[in-house]
Structure 1
Amino acid sequence: MRILPVEPAHIPVLSQLAMDTFSETFAHLYPPEDLTAFLEKSYAPEKLAVEIADTAQFWRIVYEGDEAVAYLQCGPVGLPHAEADPTRMGELKRLYVRGSQQGKGLGKMLMAVALGWLDETYGQAPQWIGVWSENHKAQALYLSQGFEKVGEYQFPVGQTLDDEFILCRRL
């Protein structure tokens, strides 16, 4: 496994990986038109290029051999919570692993990379994560790292609104 900083040359692969992993995990929840709208809005190469160029964002992509199998993104917190301050606090925004690679410890490894970056970038400030209310596997990982539920919000996927939990880790 190789964990690499995302560079412009990775964008087409990252775009496909992001669409694939989101769909593997969540496609069954949405009408096809909502899923398509969300994927095109969130993971289009042009959109990712802008996000990757933002120096406040931290991106990593994981390859096993020639195949991209996972990625993560961190940056200033953007969750709708009264205590979340993007000028001094960070968020783990995305951590996705292909289904074929799950159960091998890759999620925990990427979590450690993300938390290391958040610690280095934001010091002892609280760290944030938003997670789907029914994604118990991800919640278990986050709770094992000291995050706790501090709020809820709705996340739009097309016209569908998902119930999400806001988790915070206070150092």
Structure 2
Amino acid sequence: MQILPVQSGDIARLSALARDCFSETFGHLYPPSDLEAFLVKSYSAEALLADITDPSQYWRMVIDDAGHTAAYLHCGPVTLPFDEADGNRHGELKRIYVRASHQGLGLGKRLLETALNWMSRTYGDAPQWLGVWSGNDRAQAIYAGYGFEKVGEYKFAVGETLDDEFILRRLPG
């Protein structure tokens, strides 16, 4: 398994990977029209290209030994709706997804540690942030093991559906 930077030539693969991972993880929660609207808005090639060419964004994709996409990571300046979150000085782990076929191999942990290291290098000892679906107990337990604590809540739109999300913060150092 290799963790590689995402390049503009990887957009089609990243788009397919992101759509697949979100759908297999959360697709059952939404009406098909809401799911499709979200996938187009968040994971179309156009939306992703704008993000990966922004130097403030950090994208990595995992390629397995057979050359297939397995997982991805996205970090950048914090944009969570929380007063103490400073988009000029704090980083956010925006997405970690691992294909169901590749779960249980330690990829999520490797990507989380990669994200935390990037945020520490980029933002120093500033707070690190992430948003997580309120029903994702497994992810919340993993994040708690790395020192993240719940500090707030917000609504996350998937099409017309509004999910309850938790805002987590980690104080490194």
Whole-Å Cα distance in 2 between the matches of residues 124 and 154 of structure 1? Answer: 28
Whole-Å Cα distance in 1 between the matches of residues 128 and 89 of structure 2? Answer: 10
1:153 aligns with 2:154: yes
Instruction: Indicate the residue corresponding to 1:168 in structure 2.
Output: 169
CA drift at 1:88: 0.2
Q: How does 1:43-122 map to 2 (within 5 A)?
A: 43-64=43-64, 65-122=66-123
What does the per-residue CA deviation read over 1:4-27, in whole Å, with 9 as the maximum and x for residues that have no partner? 000011100000000000001001
1:15 aligns with 2:15: yes
Gaps of 5+ in 1: none
SS of residue matched to 1:156: strand
CA drift at 1:109: 0.5
How high is the sequence identity, in percent, across the aligned residues? Answer: 61
SS of residue matched to 1:124: coil
What does the per-residue CA deviation read over 1:116-157, in whole Å, with 9 as the maximum and x for residues that have no partner? 000000000000000000011111111111000000000000
SS of residue matched to 2:20: helix
Corresponding letter in the other structure for 1:28: H
Corresponding letter in the other structure for 2:20: D
Root mean square deviation, CA, Å: 0.5
Corresponding letter in the other structure for 1:156: A
Aligned positions, number:
171
Instruction: Indicate the residue corresponding to 1:37 in structure 2.
Output: 37
SS of residue matched to 1:80: coil
Whole-Å Cα distance in 1 between the matches of residues 62 and 77 of structure 2? Answer: 22
Instruction: Indicate the residue corresponding to 2:5 in structure 1.
Output: 5
What does the per-residue CA deviation read over 1:70-115, in whole Å, with 9 as the maximum and x for residues that have no partner? 0000000000001000000000000000011111111000001000
Gaps of 5+ in 2: none
Whole-Å Cα distance in 1 between the matches of residues 143 and 69 of structure 2? Answer: 23
